[in-house]
Chain A
Amino acid sequence: MSQANATDGTVSASDRPKGLFERTIGSIVLLKESPVGLVGAVLVTIFFIVAIFAPLLAPHHYETFIMPMAAPLSTGPNGEFLLLGADLRGRDIFSRLIYGTQRVVFYASLATFCAYIVGILMGLAAGYFRGWVDEVLSFLANVILSFPVMVLFVLIITSIGASGATIVFAVVFASAPGIMRIVRGLTLDIATRDYIAAAQTRGESPWYIMLVELLPNARGPLIVDACLRMGYTTITIGALGFLGLGLPPPFPDWGGMINETRTLAMGGFWWMPFFPALAVSLLVLGFNLLADGLREVSLRD
């Protein structure tokens, strides 16, 4: 008989399967290693909390008339405190920013999520089946990616009209090919691993292999990419609002707020476009820093 016996037979804490909660905590603890990533996580968390609790946090309704063109830190006629001032139509900029957060976070998350579903399915199929499936999907992706994104958005939105659904559709249309390329690359790589061959040799179906055996092992780079893309979608939604192609009023929209007020800014009312611009930059910065931190931490392991 072989003398070899296994090393330690003891059941340590690490032998127990870990729950989702434990793993989430684990990743946050890991982020502690990267101060940059932590700053990003804090920024993103703040914006998400603001988005979820917007009606509770906003001092005023976004349409309430208080005092036109009030400067930051001024007080309204009924003693309303206007932290960031008011706009031309007398509405509290701070409250509008808070409601705007809700809107941008909601649409950015929804659009990115949908783009990911489409992109992942396309990328898995292209990378796993290869051959003509890959040829066709990759060519499609190439065609779409050869449009400058903003030109594509302008064309789509002016031909079907601006609405939340249009924006989600446009983002999915424009970013799914990019996601597909990343997933395809990861799939091509992971598909050469022996455990994929093992799954094939025990007769698993292709979609079982793609979704259960392959996708979980691609999650690292995809999470990093998703953070970056959330930031980029935020920029896109803002830019569309800025170009006057965004979500229709009256619900506040950061880009729209800048667009409406920027000519006034020349007259000295700088705060009207300035704070929305700052908000957009901080949220995007949060996503970018988080992505960078996650990448750094994942590279270390």
Chain B
Amino acid sequence: MARLLVRRLGLMLLIMLVVGFILFIVNEGDPRKVARGVLGPYAQEQQLDIWIQENGYDRPIPVRFLDWVGGVATGDLGESVQYKRPVNEFFWERLGNTGILAGLTFLIMVPLALLLGVLAGMKEGSLQDRTISVASIITTSIPEFASAVILTTVFVIQLKWLPGTSSMAAGWDWMQMILPVTVLVLYGFGYIARMTRASMAEVMTTHYIRTAVLKGLPYKRVILKHALRNALIAPFTVIMLQLNWLLSGVVVTEYAFAYKGFGTLLLEAALRRDIFVIEACGLAAVFVAVLSQTLGDIGYTFLNPRIRFS
């Protein structure tokens, strides 16, 4: 177990390093581009040269990369070009906002999806199964940007129940969270629910469920003690991977509702070529994704004794 942990963490570090290197090369590979980005389009060649020398961008790439890694490791994320402020000053707040959005979504989506998936998979082919399956196909077919439009049309424009943007301009407002969270949950839960259903349906046809029934156990115990645990092993990894997908959805949803999170920050930075912010956002996204995968793998190993003791 400890060995596995060390190995997984090592792999995670390696991936982070490779990703970091790619981000670094794409954004900072060409020193003149960096200088041009920082000093603006009207700076003269000479100014660029001076800037490059002063900031050490004339050093070879490997040295600069090591320097960069050192900086990131000690929490120095550089200075934003567009805000002329250290990235650290506003980056973490934006990340926190996204954390709240994603956390709320997860809190609602996962239990709902698991419950519906188990209910559907328990009786494969039943009316209950068909209804849940078709409903989850329909919701996963509506992309976030489409459901944002459709829900806004209904609840903001027609019914006037909810605010149409979530910029929190006048301080934190939970009402503004309802639409973004709903949009994310609707798109995301169907996938987990369908995975859970498939897994549950498969477990219900296994021989050990037959053994449990023919042992004379009550149906409830067969489901709760024998089926559930085995059925939840597969969806568990899916849920952890879903975090990765959620981050994709977050970019679109935040943009749709003007929510001040990490996604809107990344978009702005990408459009204005604000390289240090792009790097910070890229690293954060990959870190979350890789961490969730690692946790998923470790959790899977823990849930599945066949792997745990081999």
Contact = CB atoms under 8 A, between A and B. Distances in A.
A270 B293 CA distance: 40
B146 A280 contact: yes
Contacts of B271: 158, 244
Interface in A248-301: 255, 258, 262, 265-266, 268, 270, 273-274, 276-278, 280-281, 284-285, 287-289, 292
B140 A242 contact: no
B270 A158 contact: yes
A151 B285 contact: yes
Contacts of B244: 145-146, 148-149
B149 A273 contact: yes
B266 interface: yes
Interface string B275-289: 000100110011011
Contacts of A243: 251-252, 255, 267
A49 to B, nearest CB: 20
A155 interface: yes
Nearest to B284: A151
Given A258-B145, A274-B149, A150 B249 contact: yes
A149 B267 CA distance: 14
B252 A155 contact: no
A277 B145 contact: yes
B285 A148 contact: yes
Nearest to A255: B145
B245 A148 contact: yes
B226 interface: no
Contacts of B153: 265, 270, 273-274
Given A151-B251, A243-B267, A280-B146, A288 B282 contact: no
Nearest to A281: B142
A287 B286 CA distance: 29
Contacts of B157: 265-266, 268, 270
Q: Name the prevailing secondary structure of the A interface residues.
A: helix
A147 B19 contact: yes
B147 to A, nearest CB: 8
B89 to A, nearest CB: 22
B145 A242 contact: yes
Given A146-B286, A242-B252, A277-B150, A151 B266 contact: yes
Contact of A239 (B19, B133, B252): B252
A148 B248 contact: yes
A158 B273 contact: yes
Interface in A133-188: 142-143, 145-151, 154-155, 158-159
Contacts of B263: 150
Given A149-B245, A243-B251, 4 more contacts: A151-B266, A258-B149, A277-B146, A287-B141
21 contacts: A146-B244, A150-B248, A151-B247, A155-B282, A158-B273, A238-B146, A239-B143, A242-B252, A243-B267, A244-B271, A258-B146, A265-B153, A274-B150, A274-B153, A276-B146, A277-B145, A278-B150, A285-B138, A288-B137, A289-B141, A292-B133
